[in-house]
Amino acid sequence: MIVLRLKEALPLVISETQSAFLSNITDNILVAFELVHHIQHRTRGGKSYSALKLDMSKAFDRVEWTFLWAVMEKMGFASNWIALIQNCLTSSSLSFSLNGEVTGYVKPSRGLRQGDPLSPYHFLIGSEGLSRLLQHEEAIGNLQGLRLTRRAPSVSHLLFADDSLLFCETTNNSALAIERALNLYHRASDRLIWHHTTSRIYAVKSGFHLAATLDEQQEASASDLNSKWWKSFWHLKLPSKIKIFAWKVIYSAIPIAAALHRRKVIDSVACSTCSNAWESIGHALFTCPHAKSTWKHSDFTMDFRKAQAMHDGDFIFHLSNVHSQPDFELNVCTMWAIWSHRNKVLHGGVLKEGKITTSFAQDYLGKYHASTRQTHTAPAVTSVSPTGAHTSKKQASKDISWQPPTAAGLKLNVDAAVNATSQTLGVGAIVRDHNGLVVAAISKPAQGCFHSDEMEAKALFHSLNWALQQQLQITHIETDSLRVFNALIHTSIDLSCFLDLIIDVCCLLSFFPEATISHVMRNANHVAHGLAKHALELDQDFCWVGEIPYHIFTTVVNDS
């Protein structure tokens, strides 16, 4: 009875742009197809239009009841009717089927039940909030919708249950209007527009990092100082296992006797080494006789009373403030050496003198620093063919200049440059043979403002398209963008514009089956970079065939 009465009232309060769960549901689908077709095949007129598809994750489960009741009140529903709806929602309960038996009893505080005949109409009422916000932006002239003809009505959005299609003129005003509407809607309905990762995909890991960041922002300024301290700590020149050990010490996560006894793992809280005192973190690392002897043989003066009372790593913070970075690194390494020796004794090892542990810590850190100083070259970069048929390894070093391709091969170098003021993208590409002679080159300007990775991917796309038109049989391709290179050799699920460009690049690469693509440093890509910068000064494409562009003549000669 309630469903039938609500169904009769819905056409009076629900916009025509919503089609889910109502009659004539296919109308909006046909309209959507026509609008998208119009955008794709529009050839006349100076304006451009965009379509944006939105999706609500677990839409039914995340409807906030308070938001639903507030929208119904604004729509003019009587308070008695709203109270009746409230009673229908709040009286529900959930149980679980486990091994064929119904167990548990949960009272939900939000969400709509699947299968309830009232739920679809409640969802429409909640979605109407977004529709009205978009209508308001359109009414005040901020949002310009799409018209199929000059006299046709403007369409700014179509809603299909948890899916939405937004249409607008491609202008900053329209984009800002949509952003305002979505931001207001997600704050009112307790939803979150996920844009905190480049892939635009929500994951538990990314959600945790966002929650942790927001939590830190709400704390006092001391939290900011703490974040800066941790940032500098993770950049210390120490092995990762030692830094992780120090992190565990600060968060009281190492298995000292006191902690194990508190968890009823062992029966005694006595120190594992001396058996004469309660083993706290401060005792194990500083005031145990072996630990104290180790520190006395070092070059550091310790306040053992303060170290014994260490809480939440405050003494480690103190050491970082009173010592230089090299000395603090040795402090942390010595703590790790003391703890390692304690564990060996616990498992049957021989208790050694403190000066031996001190020497071990100093030698260990010295050898680590020596090994890291010897490693200056960049890691090997894989060169991969689009079909995966050819792979090779080579070093990408800052000192390596451009290298010619193999005999009878053609190498394409690509780069991009940008002028943020004029929002112009410059594309530079050059093809050279095994003798270093220029076969062809291009400087291509393009309008638009892009992220750096998108800019490099767009440059590679335009360069491959140009090489295909020139019928150049490219065998080697080089780019100095590491992310573009990695995206081409590693498949990933990504909803960003960057992936769309990578997909387009892969399609063009299929026309060059013998080509291998490599990542190089900027020193090996100077010529392409010069062509890209020159493109920023041009109004149209400029191509050279069989000759060296004058503005990069010296660079080409030096490469050869």
Q: In the chain, helix, strand, coil percent, each to 5?
A: 50, 15, 35
pLDDT of residue 377: 43
**Ranges of each domain in the chain:** 2-94+106-188, 226-373, 380-559
pLDDT at 23 over 90: no
The total of other beta-carbon atoms located within 10 Å of residue 41's CB is 7
CB 134 within 8 A of CB 166: yes
Q: Percentage of the chain with pLDDT > 90?
A: 26
Beta bridge partners of 236: none
- pLDDT class of 379 with cuts at 50, 70, 90: very low
Mean pLDDT of 218-226: 53
CATH superfamily assigned to domain 380-559: Ribonuclease H-like superfamily/Ribonuclease H (3.30.420.10)
pLDDT at residue 221, rounded to an integer:
44
How large a percentage of the chain has pLDDT more than 70?
Answer: 89
Whether the full predicted model's pTM is greater than 0.75, yes or no, is no
Tell me the pLDDT band of 381, cut-offs 50, 70 and 90: very low
**Mean of pLDDT over the chain:** 83
Query: What pLDDT does residue 390 have?
Result: 42
Question: Over the stretch 263-306, which tens digit does the pLDDT of each residue have?
Answer: 888 888 888 888 888 889 999 999 999 999 999 998 888 888 88
User: pLDDT of 330-373, one tens digit each?
Assistant: 999 999 999 999 999 988 888 999 999 999 999 999 999 988 87
CB 413 within 8 A of CB 527: yes
Better-scored residue on pLDDT, 123 or 461: 461
Cα 521 from Cα 196, distance rounded (Å): 29
**Rounded Cα gap, residues 279 and 284, in angstroms:** 6
Q: What is the rounded average pLDDT of the residues 439-452? A: 87
Give me the pLDDT at residue 198, please: 66
Note the pLDDT of residue 433.
92
More confident residue, 552 or 338: 338
pLDDT at 402 over 70: yes
